[in-house]
Structure formats: C-alpha cells, structure tokens
Amino acid sequence: MNSLPFFPVRASTTAGQVDNLYFAWLALSGVVALIVALLLVWFAIRYRRGSAANRAVADAAESEKKMHRIEIVWTVVPLALFLAMFVWSARVYYENVTVPKGALPIYIVAKQWMWHAEHPAGEREINELHVPLGRPVELLMTSQDVIHSLSIPDFRIKQDVLPGRYTTLWFTANRTGEYHLYCTQFCGASHSHMVGRVVVMEPAAFEGWLSAHASAPTMAARGAQRYRQLGCNGCHGAQAMVRAPKLEGLFGTPVELRDGRSVLADERFIRDAVLLPNRDVPAGYDASMPSFRGQIGEEELLEIIEYLKSLGNATQQVVP
C-alpha cells in the first residue's frame, strides 16, 4: 500500500498504441466534462432565483433560429469527433487482431481453473507463460469446459477462450520481467484463482529455458505418436489402402471441398476434420472418416495439429 498506481506498465508493443487512445479519450472527455460543469455552475450562479441578471429575450423568432443552429452545432461536432476516434480505435484494433507472419506459436488450453501452455519445443507449463523479448508470439487458445478469457493488462491484450473453437491472441513483449495473467471471463467458483504470470526473458535466456528440458519430446513428436496410436496412418499414410487425403504439406493451403467451397487448412479445419469429419469433406473423397470425438483431448488435438504443421516442408504432393 506504499504506492498509488494510476497506470499499468507498458510491456508490449501494443501497450503504447492503446495508451495513446486512452489518453486521447481522457483529454477529450475531460474537456467536455469541464465545459459542461463550468456552464452548469456559471448558469446556476448567474441565473439563480432572485438574481438581477438580464433574462430578456430581444427577438423571439431570432432566438428560435439561433437555438436551431446551436442544436445542429452540438450534434455535428460530437459526431465528427466520434467518427475520427472510431477510425483511430478501429485501426489499433485491426493491427492487434492480425497475427504477424512468423510469430512464435504457443498453445493454450484453459480449464476450470488453470491455464495450460504447451510450447512447440515440448516445454509444458501451468499458470505460467515464458516468452522471449522482442519477438511476436501467437497464442492459439481453446477451452476444455466453459468460456474463459486470457488477459495480460501490462500488454493491453485480452481474448476470450471458448470451448469448441480456437481463438488467437498475439503480442510482442518489449520489457523483461514478470506480469500478471488473469482469467477475465467468469468461469465458476475459483475464477479469481485462475491467474498466473507471464515471464518475459531475453531471447538467449528463453532459449536456455526451453532447452533446460531438452530431453522432453517436441510437441510435434508427441503429436506423431498420438497420430499413430489413433491409427490415422491407416488411411492417411503413404501405403494406406483406403483413399484418404495425404496430409503432408496440407497446413496453410486452400482445400477444395466436395460441395464446391474452398477453405483454408488452418487449425480450425483440422480440428473439425478430426471431430466433425462430415462437415468439410474434400473434393474427390467420400465422407468415410470416423469422428474422434470423445477419444481425444484438447491437448492431444493441438499436438496433432503441431505435427501436421511440421509436415509442411515435406516434398510430397498437395491434397487435391
């Protein structure tokens, strides 16, 4: 209680942009509130009952016209200001929802009441998130139960984490240190215990931290193992007898579907293909894939996705 905090620290490249918006609104609304307050006080004193102030209206018609002009002015001026602020804030928002290419992926599974993070290199952590300084990081997030929301106020970022789908959040940390991480969507009894810390490290220290557990298999390796365990190879493998799409090089490419649509083979596509295989059937194939719903957890599914991503560089032919 020895300090009185007013503003959170800025620990990401996003923070400054959001702060600028905040300060602009503080200034703008401060001016408006001040004008309203001063006018109210001034009128209240000058025109208090019994005061000698002149209240005569010289020309009723003229004053009516003046009133209309005033109404138009204080309709149009706020509207113009609001539109300008809208454009600015929308630009900041778009920048902050557009994940830059080459961002370092980290996978997040939220559950009552903990944050589970998994790095492609294989490191897993709970209620902690280690990230490198100065490099864009993309969080690919899903929930195992109810809606959660991942919030890092010192980075000025937040995104709900939903069951049944993936949402993303990205940031570039620009200040080393430890920062709060909160769940901000009410998720049950221990909602306020679903907190953790983000540790921003110098890139070299981060590499060191990752390699401290170098003996652990990478996420892709774990994904490959699940892939075999679930028998995916039986149909999707090179020697398979069943006609199923080949998955090498699939990730990130457009897929023509049987119903004529074309979708991008992203995380959502793979998730749906595993759990709801009849939803998006590639052109030229039967809807013969079984659903793995109930047989595979969120973490395993993410590992398989990471495995399929790792097949991206294979020289094999692309799915039709």
Tallying the residues shown for the chain, one arrives at 320
Task: Answer yes or no whether residue 264 interacts with other proteins by CB under 8 A.
Answer: no
Six-digit token pair at 283? 């052109």
Site for other proteins in 103-162 (CB under 8 A): 112, 145-147, 149, 151, 153-154, 156-160, 162
Nearest to 222 by CA among 298, 140, 304: 304
Task: Answer yes or no whether residue 99 interacts with other proteins by CB under 8 A.
Answer: no
**Cβ neighbours for 306, distance < 8 A, ≥ 6 positions apart:** 105, 107, 120, 219, 220, 223
Task: Answer yes or no whether residue 3 interacts with other proteins by CB under 8 A.
Answer: yes
Give least dist CB 255 to other proteins, A.
21
3-state secondary structure of 204: helix
H or E segment and range at residue 76 = helix 60-97
Nearest to 271 by CA among 253, 252, 298, 239: 298
Give least dist CB 196 to other proteins, A.
12
Residues in the interface with other proteins (CB under 8 A) total 81
Give least dist CB 161 to other proteins, A.
9
Site for other proteins in 60-89 (CB under 8 A): 67, 70-71, 74-75, 78-79, 82-83, 85-86, 88-89
Task: Answer yes or no whether residue 273 interacts with other proteins by CB under 8 A.
Answer: no
**Cβ neighbours for 209, distance < 8 A, ≥ 6 positions apart:** 123, 130, 201
Task: Answer yes or no whether residue 92 interacts with other proteins by CB under 8 A.
Answer: yes
Task: Answer yes or no whether residue 52 interacts with other proteins by CB under 8 A.
Answer: no
Task: Answer yes or no whether residue 36 interacts with other proteins by CB under 8 A.
Answer: yes
Question: Which one among 190, 211, 278, 316 touches other proteins, defined by CB under 8 A?
Answer: 190
